[in-house]
Structure 1
Amino acid sequence: MKKLISIIIIGVCSISAYAEKIDIKPLDCGPLDRGEYGVVFKVYEFPKGQTYFVKGKAGTICLKWLSGGLITGYEMTLPKSELFSESERVVIKEFVVTSYGKS
C-alpha cells in the first residue's frame, strides 16, 4: 500500500512538472486584493482576452510587464477557495511566471 501511494505521489508531481510553458504579452495589468493574489491582467495575443490572476505585488510586477517584452510561464486553474467564486474559477486562471524576456 505504501508503494502504491508513493507511485501516485510521484506521478502527480511529474505531471505538474511538465506544465506547458507559454509566452504571453500583457494587454493591461492592475492591482487585485485577493490574499496572495495581488495582480490581475489580460493577454494581448493568444489566448486573446484571457484574464489571469498572479501572486505578488502589482506595483512591482505591472511596471516590469508593461515596459515591454514577453513573459514565459504556465497557467493553472484557480484553487477552490473562498477568495474565488465558482464562476471566476471557470473563466479566470492563475499564471505562474517562470521568466521575463524582451519581445
Structure 2
Amino acid sequence: MFMIFSFVGKKENTKLIRGTVELTLDGCIKHIQIRGDFFIYPEDALEYIEKSLEGSSLSDVARRFSWALEECGAEALGINGEALQIILQEAFHSQDKPAKEGR
C-alpha cells in the first residue's frame, strides 16, 4: 500500500511549487510530480530530478534535489531543494488521512 497527497507552497525566494507525491508506508517517495511557476533549464532536467527523488525519504529531499540538479548540469530559478522539502513535509503532516490510498 501507499498514500498519495498533493502539495503546494511558496517559500522565501521561491515561486509557487506544487505537485503530487506517492509515498510508501515506510515513508519513501514512490513517485513525485513537481510543477509550479519556477524554471528549470534544460526543461527535461525536471524529469531527471523527479526520478532521482524516488526511493528517498522526505527528510532527504533537499540533498537529493541538489545532487540531481548538479548531476544533470541544470539551473533552477524559483525552486530549491530546501523549499521543496519543507513544502512536502508540511503537506504530509497536515494530512488527516491520505487523499487516496492504493495497493
TM-score, normalised with respect to structure 2: 0.25
Higher RCO (CA < 8 A, seq sep 6+):
2
TM-score, normalised with respect to structure 1: 0.25
Structure with more of its chain in strand, by fraction: 1
**Which has more radius of gyration?**
1
Structure with more of its chain in helix, by fraction: 2
